[in-house]
Amino acid sequence: MTDETPEMFQARYEDISAIRWPRPADPQEELDTLNARHLAWNAWYKKTVKAAREHGPQHDALLVALEDLVEIKRDADEKIRLLLAYGRIFHQPRPHTLESLGAAAGLSPSGVSRAFGAEEVMAVAELTGKRPPAVDVQRHDPNVISGQSSKSRCTWGGSRAEPCTETPKYAVTDKSGAKWACCDKHLPGYLRSRV
């Protein structure tokens, strides 16, 4: 943008800030959120500088703000899918109903069922270290297993930080229908969770 003046450049930052982080009308709230708004503004400014360095000055603050918000939306959608999987499959002492989850998430009951699958169930297990209730054991077969990592290692045992290194011998099925890999050492734990 060869005809851009420094004033235009400055004004664009102010306009986008006013849209993304409007100043709260309540003076106390404005004070309380000042730090958070300042941090968010700073992160966006740094991303803008980085984008201009990588893609040239035509990749401006407005495009960075749009990319930022799309990323936030994608991240929120992903977390909603994971929380729905958690509520349906892992929640103790009993799962939430499709109706209560749907009402909270703005989805129909069938929309809740469609919102997650084996990938989400396994991601929740990885993040929380929990395993869903079990239903069925078969011999391990990489072709019937649900997640990529279950093809080569025991995913029923271990944790994110310390994956199980034993040879996977069984394909175990959880209540959601996802098939996990399981070793001899972790099979007793799986069987215990069936009863």
Question: Given the rule CB under 5 A, which residues bind Zn ion?
Answer: 154, 157, 164, 166, 183, 186
Work out how close the CB of 185 gets to Zn ion at its nearest, in angstroms, rounded to a whole number: 5
Given a contact cutoff of 8 angstroms between Cβ atoms, the answer to whether 125 and 131 are in contact is yes
Q: How far apart are CA 30 and CA 93, in angstroms?
A: 41
Nearer to Zn ion, 122 or 183 (CB): 183
Interhelix angle 118-128/61-85, rounded to 10 degrees, is 90
Calpha distance 56→53 (Å, rounded): 6
Identify which of residues 102 and 132 has a Cβ nearer to Zn ion in the complex: 132
The H-assigned helical ranges of the chain are: 6-20, 27-32, 34-55, 61-85, 98-105, 109-115, 118-128, 187-192
> How many angstroms separate the CA atoms of 71 and 171, rounded?
35
3-state secondary structure of 60: coil
Closer to Zn ion by CB, 102 or 147: give it: 147
Q: Kindly state the smallest distance separating residue 132's Cβ from Zn ion, in Å.
A: 16
CB of 154 to Zn ion, least distance (A): 3
Output 119 or 166, the one with its CB closest to Zn ion.
166
Of residues 154 and 178, the one with the C-beta less far from Zn ion: 154
Q: How far is the CB of 149 from Zn ion (least distance, A)?
A: 12
- Provide, rounded to whole angstroms, the least separation between the CB of residue 164 and Zn ion: 3
Q: Is the dihedral of CA 128, 155, 79, 97 positive or negative?
A: negative
